[in-house]
Structure 1
């Protein structure tokens, strides 16, 4: 009998007395299942040490393995028309993406998989075998793949890990088939379980992963690309709107936005801010760099055709689209436009932290109307940007972007400031001009448009308008109340607020500001103007307003309703205010307000294309921003 080293030593010391020995046929050490994922989010799955083992069965916003909702189209295989050449329905458009099948669609798609590894079991006997699976509710929302010589293969109930694979260690990949839509249905978690059986012994190990949250962009993320609708045609409205697009291109390039502008051309809906909210989901890739999928969040307006172009034009590599379902047209239509969704940049206050920023949305508190429940549920279910609601019942369109914005501010306590429309400052500009003897000066310096005469009112007439004075007193009061909510929730002080001169005017029962009715009637009957400009534009209402008798919109083009093109570059709508001494007094005041906050302001004319439709530059554009910074880091 062959003795172990310890037994031989015993014989030498004790003569004929033999110590117990370990038989040569004794069982090898027990095989222990050990499954790892990228718990520390550094891009590597460490199979040695405890870096990716500690806390593997829990998950928090700051630690725990992440997987992507793999809803882009890396191989560009998704069709937008059926075999008969007819456009697919919205539901069928949304069904196609990389996670809609059980195939890894190329090398790019493989990068969207979150990796897991089994720790090699060098002592696994020949009869050892293993299984892996996603357990619990996550099994319906996540798909597991195994990497073998032939490439990636979907794991099924019949998939078995061989003894040889267990000895060498196995690489797995996990994808999400959707974003979290309702935490009550699925909270985003996926528990992957490894079971290993050797002889009569079975051991198991579980790792908890969480699908990356769908996050909206904020203004500390630099603009990388502009989105805008370009109306087709050669009529007067089309030419004016095409000039706007050309000027936008020019201003974006000057500000350092290098990627070419995306132009929506199919449906004639000029409100590019409103039918989509660019969002994203990210994890750390295998190379240690951020792996991000942009997700275009379609507005909860099922009859708004422009949202289809997100699938038809944008969906592709690293770009997916999400649309909510179960939305009825009877819900407050205008509140569902994405101009009514903005994002406060990251902050910590009152014991709460929002490392990816926090969403704000408008609601009509006087009537209790809110954005669609399906959208509110989806946004809240992400768990990181819990929406804060402001009162927009005083605004005819009712969008938060009409009066508030967030501006980068390096060196301040939060790194950003709040910009707000200031009606008091706007009225003071007019009173000061009148006091200086300029009361007879025209209120607007804009010229007429295609046979429509320019506005003729003077500063004196504007100040004498009791309704307009009341409108701006109301606007100032409501803005102050909303600002108090923002200050309470974020900790922002008065020193961190940029007040931008503005003026507001009330609407009418027809849903259009009184001074704008002539033009809208004119373009409404023009063959040159797309139906979508009227039907899906800012001025649309489902019947008459149900809120207070006074609901306002911008009188002078709303300067805060512009676009942040760079950390210190801002694009505002041209003011077309009173010209005194050769200078537009509103332009001077707006420029001074932003300059004091560290911004160089450029202007773009949107008077007849957007402003008279109750929107501005921000309403007519959108941006794709840099989303590479990990969302879990402040």
Structure 2
């Protein structure tokens, strides 16, 4: 038997055992078919094209072939490197059909071109043959030869073996496409002599990109918000600071974070933006479906009509990159709220877990009326920190320590209007409220802080406790006796770290002050600024009447598209085999 030449993305043979081969691909999401509309989609499309690089040309990116400039994936000399790409789930010709369901066309930039390298062809003699065998998730990949499927999913059949003459092998140019995210296969290439003897065997891995959800350390490209009469001050601050990087959406549905989560699939020279559309299906659903454009694909995981509050995307966030337990997570880890009595739909969570690279963490949010992680947890970049970020978590004890030291007769009219506390003294003097919050701290916040401290290998210097007080929401429509922020949740914030620009965050103004008193005199603002890195340009915005009193804050009312960082095929191979 000829020696095996292979180069692995940390995944040897046995793909099925590791990637649950043979499933029906049902967690691949459903695509939206609406037409593109408005500047939001145009901006997103421009962003995608700018980041995709030369690989977005219609011919696709050449990987491992031709001897004239395939993608440098680090394969040793004399070994064929892996074939990498993004799933072909968008609609590059804008004909209303998913490109996977069509024969390749000129403007389809999501296929990866593969040809046998020059050194391989030099070893072929007249009369030799090359046998190609495809194994693994063969129903999730196709190898096109012209307009015909040579190997993989051909619709009614799935050919897995092809034999070529030496001349045909020399002229071979395949275009490889994938149906879904994080799908793997192996192409075995056998060099057969004229008598049929096996002279050499090469194995090439084929991988489609995982879907990666954005984290706060990635540079921000665009911010979306929904102007209505009551949030004009907040929207105007975003417009003033961000200019044309802020995009206004016309709707009466102001909760844009709940409807949309941006994610990315990348490969050498390729970028696919995924607008993950929640099964919430309120008026902003039409906006998300309208984002559909070349290299931008709205997709949904879940069944319409089965949504819970935890299916909204204030409950889907990502930690910054970190190393914990000796394992590096270069793209961070997804975290969402789930517990015995609450949680997002399993179709979505199974899909997220199958991506491997951002292994999800579940934290308890069942105690919250709305049940979202962004109500009491966040992360911000910190260039001066060894880890590069700070972990922010709400803290009841910090709030009472701060407020107990203030004059009790300080008027706080916003709280009088909305929460029934006209002064700081009335707020801190409510012993029933204090007891409730002490229980929240002990029963829910402290355990989650310790959980994430252990999961992320954090020490105390990495953690910032943000003062927070919660109140019971009687008649909460989502769960009995759930609570929500009484003090505006200042960690429900927006990180806008534009490349080559300042580190900016937009934070809910806590209004712990009398009317007519400026922000500089607000004790909660002073405390927040002192706790955050000096590099930040912090904008405290008025979200009170649109978001805060409706159990949300500034993060709930905005959405951010971000630039991909890192390369999963280089930095995350070790995670493919993690449980």
Same topology, TM > 0.5: yes
Query: In structure 2, the residue corresponding to 1:433 is in which secondary structure?
Result: coil
1:349 CA drift (Å): 1.6
Note closer, same or farther for the CA distance 1:105–1:613 as it changes in structure 2 (3 Å cut).
Answer: farther
Cα distance in 1 for residues equivalent to 2:131 and 2:566: 36
Give the equivalent residue in structure 1 for 2:505: 570
Give the equivalent residue in structure 2 for 1:468: 433
**Match for residue 117 of structure 1 among 115, 118, 135:** 115
Is 1:239 matched up with 2:214?
no
Query: In structure 1, the residue corresponding to 2:507 is in which secondary structure?
Result: strand
Query: In structure 1, the residue corresponding to 2:88 is in which secondary structure?
Result: coil
Alignment deviations for residues 559-589 of structure 1 (CA, whole Å, 9 cap, x no partner): 1001011262111012211239762222222
**Match for residue 85 of structure 2 among 64, 67, 89:** 67
Note closer, same or farther for the CA distance 1:125–1:591 as it changes in structure 2 (3 Å cut).
Answer: closer
Query: In structure 2, the residue corresponding to 1:619 is in which secondary structure?
Result: helix
Is 1:353 matched up with 2:328?
yes
8 Å contact kept, 1:443–1:459:
yes
Is 1:318 matched up with 2:295?
yes
Query: In structure 2, the residue corresponding to 1:575 is in which secondary structure?
Result: coil
TM-score (norm: length of structure 2): 0.76
Cα distance in 1 for residues equivalent to 2:504 and 2:323: 26
**Match for residue 457 of structure 1 among 422, 446, 463:** 422
Alignment of 1:134-153 (within 5 A): 135-146=134-145
Is 1:213 matched up with 2:204?
no
Give the equivalent residue in structure 1 for 2:258: 274
Give the equivalent residue in structure 2 for 1:585: 523
Note closer, same or farther for the CA distance 1:153–1:605 as it changes in structure 2 (3 Å cut).
Answer: farther
Note closer, same or farther for the CA distance 1:242–1:196 as it changes in structure 2 (3 Å cut).
Answer: farther
Alignment of 1:230-309 (within 5 A): 230=227, 238-241=228-231, 244-253=234-243, 260-265=245-250, 268-285=252-269, 291-301=270-280, 303-304=281-282, 306-309=284-287
Is 1:485 matched up with 2:451?
yes
1:179 CA drift (Å): 2.0
Note closer, same or farther for the CA distance 1:39–1:558 as it changes in structure 2 (3 Å cut).
Answer: closer
Query: In structure 2, the residue corresponding to 1:572 is in which secondary structure?
Result: strand
Note closer, same or farther for the CA distance 1:202–1:308 as it changes in structure 2 (3 Å cut).
Answer: farther
Note closer, same or farther for the CA distance 1:370–1:325 as it changes in structure 2 (3 Å cut).
Answer: closer
Query: In structure 2, the residue corresponding to 1:440 is in which secondary structure?
Result: coil
Cα distance in 2 for residues equivalent to 1:33 and 1:162: 21
Cα distance in 2 for residues equivalent to 1:491 and 1:300: 34
**Match for residue 557 of structure 2 among 590, 611, 620:** 620
Cα distance in 2 for residues equivalent to 1:145 and 1:53: 27
Cα distance in 1 for residues equivalent to 2:370 and 2:78: 48
Note closer, same or farther for the CA distance 1:418–1:466 as it changes in structure 2 (3 Å cut).
Answer: same
1:399 CA drift (Å): 0.8
Cα distance in 2 for residues equivalent to 1:56 and 1:373: 40
1:163 CA drift (Å): 4.7
1:137 CA drift (Å): 4.6
Give the equivalent residue in structure 1 for 2:169: 166
1:50 CA drift (Å): 11
Note closer, same or farther for the CA distance 1:474–1:131 as it changes in structure 2 (3 Å cut).
Answer: same
Alignment of 1:371-410 (within 5 A): 371-410=344-383
Give the equivalent residue in structure 1 for 2:577: none
Superposition CA RMSD, Å: 3.7
Cα distance in 1 for residues equivalent to 2:327 and 2:130: 43
Cα distance in 1 for residues equivalent to 2:73 and 2:176: 21
Note closer, same or farther for the CA distance 1:146–1:245 as it changes in structure 2 (3 Å cut).
Answer: farther
1:251 CA drift (Å): 3.0
1:387 CA drift (Å): 0.8
1:408 CA drift (Å): 1.1
Cα distance in 2 for residues equivalent to 1:430 and 1:239: 32
8 Å contact kept, 2:508–2:543:
yes
Cα distance in 1 for residues equivalent to 2:123 and 2:325: 53
1:346 CA drift (Å): 1.1
8 Å contact kept, 2:63–2:82:
no
Note closer, same or farther for the CA distance 1:497–1:628 as it changes in structure 2 (3 Å cut).
Answer: closer
8 Å contact kept, 1:363–1:391:
yes
Cα distance in 1 for residues equivalent to 2:277 and 2:78: 36
Alignment deviations for residues 146-170 of structure 1 (CA, whole Å, 9 cap, x no partner): 36xxxx7654669885653433x42
8 Å contact kept, 1:405–1:420:
yes
Report which stretch shifted further, 485-494 or 408-417. Answer: 408-417
1:358 CA drift (Å): 0.5
Query: In structure 1, the residue corresponding to 2:553 is in which secondary structure?
Result: coil
Q: Which structure 1 segments of 5+ residues have no match?
A: 1-30, 58-62, 79-95, 181-187, 231-237, 254-258, 286-290, 512-539
Alignment of 1:413-452 (within 5 A): 413-434=386-407, 439-445=408-414
Alignment deviations for residues 385-443 of structure 1 (CA, whole Å, 9 cap, x no partner): 11111111221111111111111122423211101222222222321113xxxx23322
Alignment deviations for residues 325-345 of structure 1 (CA, whole Å, 9 cap, x no partner): 45762x6x0111111111111
Cα distance in 1 for residues equivalent to 2:434 and 2:78: 61
Note closer, same or farther for the CA distance 1:32–1:200 as it changes in structure 2 (3 Å cut).
Answer: farther
1:458 CA drift (Å): 1.7
Alignment deviations for residues 445-494 of structure 1 (CA, whole Å, 9 cap, x no partner): 4897xxxx996622222122223212322333222221101111111111
Note closer, same or farther for the CA distance 1:196–1:406 as it changes in structure 2 (3 Å cut).
Answer: same
Query: In structure 1, the residue corresponding to 2:403 is in which secondary structure?
Result: helix
Give the equivalent residue in structure 2 for 1:103: 104
**Match for residue 94 of structure 2 among 73, 76, 82:** 76
Alignment of 1:506-517 (within 5 A): 506-508=472-474, 510-511=475-476
Cα distance in 2 for residues equivalent to 1:412 and 1:43: 39
Cα distance in 1 for residues equivalent to 2:419 and 2:440: 26
Q: Which structure 2 segments of 5+ residues have no match?
A: 12-54, 56-60, 152-158, 573-579
Cα distance in 1 for residues equivalent to 2:434 and 2:424: 12
- When Rg is computed on C-alpha atoms for both structures, the one with the higher figure is 1
Note closer, same or farther for the CA distance 1:137–1:51 as it changes in structure 2 (3 Å cut).
Answer: closer
Note closer, same or farther for the CA distance 1:378–1:227 as it changes in structure 2 (3 Å cut).
Answer: same
8 Å contact kept, 2:65–2:114:
no
Cα distance in 2 for residues equivalent to 1:50 and 1:457: 63
Give the equivalent residue in structure 2 for 1:228: 225
Alignment of 1:518-529 (within 5 A): none
8 Å contact kept, 1:358–1:386:
yes
Give the equivalent residue in structure 2 for 1:532: none
